[in-house]
Structure 1
Amino acid sequence: MKQASLFRPILAGAELLPRLLAIVGAAIGIALTIVVCAQFPLAHADVPMIVAPVGASAVLAFAVPSSPLAQPWSVVGGNVLSTIAGVTAAWLIPDPTMAAGAAVGGAILMMTLGRCLHPPGGAAALTAVIGSHGIHEMGYLFAFAPVGLNSIALVSLAMFFHRITGHSYPHQPVAPPKQVDEVREAAGFHLEDIDKALADMHESFDIAREDLDLLLSQAELHAMKRRASGVG
């Protein structure tokens, strides 16, 4: 099926069918997360059963399940550790403006140390600062229920959904290591070349190093075939 132009700018490699599956998966995932979490009464009636950052987590977990930012530990650890950073900032810094900034900065630090960088974690940290009175009263408990509970439920549902739709989650390399080595050798790439290129770019990319390795090697093989056939 030819890729619809509507989806072409969104993400490299994005196709219509996987995107439609992501829509269905996220809708079901969020709905069932609420159903599951509703079985566990919260410590404060003023706190929502599901927190807004989990909606952003669902986008990552269902739409880009191969992203390092969307892996189960990134979702659970990122949201929980970020919320802890937010609660800490709210307790230590009386000024809400300063506390909000410190919460998000602290969340990035916590996620970096925990190797679970997850963008919605910034929103979770901010929620702990600007949230309702009930959230403030719950303190660190808020990081585990509902935030942690929401995250675990969502990840579990995402794992089940991707399994029945034929995707790997947690993400596994798209080819066995031996095959990757063979493709890399045929293309003339070395892992050191990729590491040096990444260092030269001074940027972070939302793709696992192993997937990038195979992608570049495969692209080089196609280029070699094109040159051998005398095309362009």
Structure 2
Amino acid sequence: RPEDVDAALAALDETFDIGRDDLERLLCQVELQAMVRSHRTLLCRDIMSRAVISVPENATADEARKQLLDHNIRTLPVVDAEAKLAGAVGLRELMPAAETVKGVMSKVGTAAPETPAMSLLAVLTDGRSHAVVIVDAEQRILGLITQTDLLAAAARLQTADEPPLKAVA
């Protein structure tokens, strides 16, 4: 937290040629990199959902909206005529009147199956992205990782490192 940065700077009794905000961003990045390094063996392919629902880019906005609502999902990958990832839509993108999803789709984060899963933290906590699409070298969809998938994987890793709780009588 910002007060932790202030306390650390005061304890060092040093002046640095870096602003507190920049230092805070640096420390957050250090924490993220440490988490990725410590959990490098957990790969995207280990936690991705493989049954990915997508729509073609010529699908109507109503068809895409129905898929999102019927499957209770927030991100719907959009594929081109060659079944390659073209973008994604969510309900927010589908709010304006549009005939097809091609006109309203947005860019979507992607990763390879062998990418360390924890490296997706920055994308999935940016306040905008709800999922990362896992693709092969030809941009064909192999899977999808949501914020919930990554959080569940992190929780499993955390509890695997801790001793089991003892029952209290």
Q: Fold conserved (TM > 0.5)?
A: no
Q: Given the two structures, how large is their TM-score scaled by the length of structure 1?
A: 0.24
Q: Which has the higher helix share?
A: 1
Q: Which has the higher strand share?
A: 2
Q: Given the two structures, how large is their TM-score scaled by the length of structure 2?
A: 0.30
